[in-house]
Structure 1
């Protein structure tokens, strides 16, 4: 079976596509120390290159990749404060979209802003939503839902008003994390110094459990650090070591008795949790957001609800087999698995886009978009007399199909429905339908899709 889509040539058992990966520009890709989104993009990019995919990484000038690097921003704005973030974000995104027709697919890891460019190009877009910084950004995702296929990084992070093509968990480079069979003698807090990440709670846990705490991560809230963290730092029992690079990260994660992760928000994923388990280090985390998906409770760590429960869970850490933590990550959170999952998404998206274009240009008639208002969309189908149309819907929306001219014979599973002018049928999400125009004049149907709000 051969299929073509723009620059794409796909043969059975073979993938040949040109992918543009849009990375953030706050940090280098891959980051020198902090930069979780950039780290994921780098791992995906290198994994795709390893599989022979033609990948262009759009990132900062100093970024590193075995693929093609394209850039306009000279340096990460978190490292060079002379760079105005909003100015260079706009230039960075525009730089890609102005050459969008050179690619079969754009994979956006830059949050919501690139979506506002999406109707200016025909290239299919996949957007990985790395969490919602605020409910106030949702209108952009809702407005441009028809122009991008959304991927969530955990099932917990899905918003009910949006449709998703897949959930793809982050993967890590397992070779960068050394398995340590024996536990260390300190607790580790590894993350942003911010109220959301529970730095103050980690200190309380360590003091109550009476075990030394090492804290690593960027200071994202200066006032919080000065009030809730700094007064407890003594360089020995509570020790802050700053943001660390790959080598120190591996040593700190692997040498810990346990990682404490007392988050105060619904964490979309939690890379440090997976990285700790890859080293064999169990995790005690507050059961919020994606934590029940990332941690296997009682086997790779413990899910708790309070500081007191966290302290109690730490007494049970010796019962955790550190090799089980490593195996759990190898099975579910490897770079290889993430890359393969995204390749499946790309192939599905390109197949759907090919089908859309085929329907729009077919001799059976034509498809016209009448209205698209965020939570509903209205289309008109005109099918010539005697022509048939096969329609597959993989979008979880409610649909009504109404005949406004002519007559229709609809085949849905093993059921056949005859409709004449003024009659309609309501269809559940995700279906396959065959429509035949049986009248003497063209069949005209109005298709209304309504998304749940």
Structure 2
């Protein structure tokens, strides 16, 4: 199996400090390589991997402000798709932009949706829904307007995080220092609880930090450690009595949560997004609804078994488990594609077949139409499941849309055309003593197949 792994280029893969998407891409790539998968990583030139590395720019754009981001994002993505025939699957971690290339290649594309920056990007995901494959990183982060092939929770190298059963007397905030991650709430929780708070993370908006946060840091009770490296992060996590995560949005996943569990450190988080999926209330931490509940939870934090937290990480959040689940996703995609046949107007997929009948879904792309044809040995029944179009049947012409049915008798001259802006999909049930391609007589065809 040959996988093209498309990483973002905001940061190095793996990142030196910050870069959660690049971090997961690296963990997945290295564990797939360990399992014998042929992976080519498309990332920045200063990235490292046990697989093959391909880059179009030597450094991440967050570290090179002279770089024209759009130019090199375009070159980076196009490099993957221009080499698509070298791979069995393209695994996209680059958000929505690579989807716009997916219809130009035959290689299947699977996208791990790490997050939606806003609903404004949904039209791209919706356009390529069912034409490509989507993986969610938690069940809570699934968009009801999209279809998903799987949910795969993130994994980490649990063994790289030191377990500590005897923590020091401080709590930890480990995240971006912005209002969405709840830095000000974390400080208020610590002050109300009368506990030392150590803060570590990236400052994405210096104006917000200077105005809203800096004056709250006294470097005695409230201490900012800076934008730290992975080694210091593990030390802080291992020694903390608890990780405080008062997130203010529906977070798709929380890498810091499972990293804390790996060290034996319980987590107190607001009841948003994936937090109830990750934290077993009363077992690995507490899911709370606001500052006062977080303060109350801190009073009970020593009732949480740190050993239980570590066991949870080992069982549920290992990078090896993550890689195994993605291998199953790849295998499922390749199996699905075996049953699909491409045509100039779209594609079809056989659902069931026995002597005398065949059931398949047929998808006609916008503006396209199947050939004008007839069959001598079978009849067909069509049921439209999405889209709209025009059917020609003998001397009749009529419109069809979602929920309509059409019967095509033996010998009837017929075709269907997609007249909408979205794909037209219908289920076809063919019944007769000859249901193969040989029973098609094409009378007119725009693709030269008469």
**Partner residue of 2:169?**
185
Say if 1:383 and 1:287 are closer, same or farther in 2 by CA, change over 3 A: farther
3-state SS of paired residue (1:126): strand
**Partner residue of 1:218?**
202
Q: Does the 8 A contact of 2:197 with 2:221 survive in 1? A: yes
Say if 1:380 and 1:239 are closer, same or farther in 2 by CA, change over 3 A: farther
**Partner residue of 1:246?**
230
3-state SS of paired residue (1:169): coil
**Partner residue of 1:278?**
262
**Partner residue of 1:317?**
301
Structure 1, unmatched stretches of 5+, are 1-16, 390-394, 409-420, 422-432, 445-453
> What is the CA-CA distance between 1:330 and the residue it aligns to?
1.1
Q: Does the 8 A contact of 1:369 with 1:380 survive in 2? A: no
Which residues of 2 match residues 122-133 of structure 1 at below 5 A?
A: 122-133=106-117
**Partner residue of 1:405?**
408
Residue 33 (structure 2) aligned to one of 18, 30, 49: 49
- Using structure 1 for the length normalisation, give the TM-score: 0.81
Q: Does the 8 A contact of 1:194 with 1:224 survive in 2? A: yes
> What is the CA-CA distance between 1:235 and the residue it aligns to?
1.7
Q: Does 1:103 align with 2:87?
A: yes
> What is the CA-CA distance between 1:102 and the residue it aligns to?
0.9
Q: Does 1:147 align with 2:131?
A: yes
Q: Does the 8 A contact of 2:378 with 2:434 survive in 1? A: no
Residue 33 (structure 1) aligned to one of 17, 20, 42: 17
Deviates more, 1:226-235 or 1:163-172: 226-235
Residue 319 (structure 2) aligned to one of 335, 345, 362: 335
> What is the CA-CA distance between 1:403 and the residue it aligns to?
3.6
**Partner residue of 1:21?**
5
Poorly superposed stretches of 4+, deviation over 2 Å: 357-373, 377-389, 398-404, 433-444
> What is the CA-CA distance between 1:388 and the residue it aligns to?
11
3-state SS of paired residue (1:78): helix
In the alignment, the residues of structure 1 paired with residue 133 and residue 11 of structure 2 have an alpha-carbon distance, to the nearest angstrom, of 25
Structure 2, unmatched stretches of 5+, are 381-385, 387-400, 415-426, 442-450
Say if 1:316 and 1:355 are closer, same or farther in 2 by CA, change over 3 A: same
Say if 1:314 and 1:114 are closer, same or farther in 2 by CA, change over 3 A: same
In the alignment, the residues of structure 2 paired with residue 211 and residue 224 of structure 1 have an alpha-carbon distance, to the nearest angstrom, of 24
What RMSD over aligned residues (CA atoms) do the two structures have, in Å? 3.1
Q: Does the 8 A contact of 1:196 with 1:265 survive in 2? A: yes
In the alignment, the residues of structure 2 paired with residue 342 and residue 383 of structure 1 have an alpha-carbon distance, to the nearest angstrom, of 43
**Partner residue of 1:118?**
102
> What is the CA-CA distance between 1:131 and the residue it aligns to?
1.1
Count of matched residue pairs: 396
> What is the CA-CA distance between 1:212 and the residue it aligns to?
0.7
Q: Does the 8 A contact of 1:367 with 1:382 survive in 2? A: no
Residues 165-202 of structure 1: CA distance to partner in whole angstroms, max 9, x if unpaired? 00000000112111111122111000011111000000
**Partner residue of 1:288?**
272
Residue 162 (structure 1) aligned to one of 134, 138, 146: 146
Residue 255 (structure 1) aligned to one of 224, 239, 254: 239
Residues 63-98 of structure 1: CA distance to partner in whole angstroms, max 9, x if unpaired? 000000011021001112111222211111011111
